[in-house]
Amino acid sequence: MTQHLPVACFAEARHRQIWKSMQPKININYTLGHFGSVSALFYVESETDVYGWRIQAKGHYFSAAFFMIENFYASRSTLLYRSLEDDVYGPWVTDFPPTGNEIRCPLPEPVRHELERIQSKFVEEWLFFENDPVAEPELAAYEKQQLSIHAVNVKSRKINRLEKRKTDWEHSTPGIDPNIIDFLQKYWRHDEKTTQPESLRVRN
């Protein structure tokens, strides 16, 4: 007898396949000087919505969170959701319009899984943490180049990928939408900071 899987299973499998075929767009920014900072993000577009992850570091502190911009490419009201911590499965909050109330993660399960997968790959390829025991070669490379070290940094082998404009060095994927970056900078209210990088180490 032929066994038939529920329609929901087919829909979830199709959703996972679509997400795995998507190529995330990324933005890396490294600002030099006494008031310098490091920021990095990736996002994936799905119809009218945008899903992604963002991290910011200044000095020995950093903050990171997953996000969803609902209706970004629609004529309806746009909403910005963000995880309270660097945990896609944990509590979330609405940053725009601001509410302050915790909510459950608004992302479907396949999207959560794929965001974690992309985040792990993104961190492994581009970033290192100042307090990571295996970061000594990276720290030595930074000192050799006389670059400022933050809690989170761009890997030394990736520095040459950044377009250098005076004290502002940046790399963006071709075709990235600058309006998304502007929107996040305008409405992002995440102020949690930590000195512990364990939550952002590469996940298996």
What is the reported pTM? 0.84
pLDDT at 105 over 60: yes
Map out the domains of the chain as residue ranges. Answer: 25-200
pLDDT at 124 over 70: yes
Q: What is the pLDDT of residue 191?
A: 59
pLDDT at 8 over 60: no
pLDDT, average across residues 123-142: 96
pLDDT, average across residues 71-99: 94
Q: What is the pLDDT of residue 99?
A: 86
Cis check: omega of the bond before 97, within 30 degrees of 0: yes
Least trusted range by pLDDT, from 15-19, 34-38, 166-170, 177-181: 15-19
pLDDT digits (tens, 9 = 90+) for 167-203: 999 999 999 999 999 999 999 986 555 544 444 544 4
pLDDT, average across residues 101-108: 93
Q: What is the pLDDT of residue 189?
A: 84
Q: What is the pLDDT of residue 83?
A: 95
Q: What is the pLDDT of residue 64?
A: 96
pLDDT digits (tens, 9 = 90+) for 134-162: 999 999 999 999 999 999 999 999 999 99
Q: What is the pLDDT of residue 162?
A: 97
pLDDT, average across residues 53-78: 95
Average pLDDT in the chain: 87
- Residue percentage of the chain with pLDDT more than 70: 82
Better-predicted residue by pLDDT, 20 or 54: 54
